[in-house]
Structure formats: structure tokens, C-alpha cells
Amino acid sequence: MTEGAVPIDVDRLSGIDPAAADQQLNDKVGMQLIEATAERVIGTIPVEGNLQPYGLLHGGANAVLAEALGSTVAALNAGPGRAAMGLELSCTHHRAVRTGKVTGVATPLHVGRGTITAEIVLTDDEGRRTCTARLTCVVRDRPPGS
């Protein structure tokens, strides 16, 4: 963990319903959160287990990682009593990946009262950019008791 990073309390960030706790897509793709601050969220997924038929990392796996990291940075910026939910995701796949892991770094581009937009840059083990994504989340007040 880098200086200034805090331990990640995923349940606090996401408000995961206990009935859905063992059904999280992030777990199924092998995602690991490395760092989570309001300024930057970092996570990884393995290529193995997330392939498309030609032996390359599936573009949908890139999208899962991008949405998870971007949503987390949005949640950290939403403020107390507020929830951030994905509204639009755009992914540009630059380079194929066959082995190793992909690392994503999400940073906020716009933090407003109603929307938060994040840029997510994915790189391979050699540090080469493999995908650039942009996620916009809508921010709403959490219902009482949630």
C-alpha cells in the first residue's frame, strides 16, 4: 500500500447486500484491490481464467476491472450518505494481452454533486497501456437505512 492509502473496507464502499456477497463478479474474475483513496484506486485481474476464444484477455474482463475501479473511486468521492452507480462505460482496447495480469488505475476527472467521471488506464506486466476506459457514475442520496 502506498503512502496515504487506507485499508479497503469493500463492504462499506459498495453497500453489498449480504445475500449477494458470495456472488460478486469482481471475485469471479479474480480482481484484487491494491489501493483505494479518493484520488486513485488501483486493482488487478489475472489474464488466466479471463480469456476469449483466441487466447487473449477478454474485452469484457477489461470492462469489469474498469467499472469496478471507477465505481470505487466514485464511491470514495460521493460523500457521506451518497451512493455512486455506473451510468456509462466506454472502453478502448489498445493492445492484446495473453499472459500475466492487468493492472488498472482509476482517477477522477470530474467530481460533481450529480455525477462523477473517472478515467481508468489498464496496463500489462510491462507497463504498456492495454485499455483506456471512462466511467460516469450518477450520484444519489442513499435511502434511509441502507
Nearest to 140 by CA among 73, 74, 72: 74
Greatest extent of the chain over all pairs of C-alpha atoms, in Å = 47
Catalytic residue (one of 39, 67, 88, 126): 67
| Identity of residue 25 | L
Four-point Cα dihedral 11, 16, 20, 25, nearest 10? -80
Which residue stretches of the chain are H helix? 10-14, 25-28, 59-78
Residues 6+ apart with CB under 8 A from 142: 15, 81, 82, 83
48 is catalytic: no
Active-site residues: which are they? 67
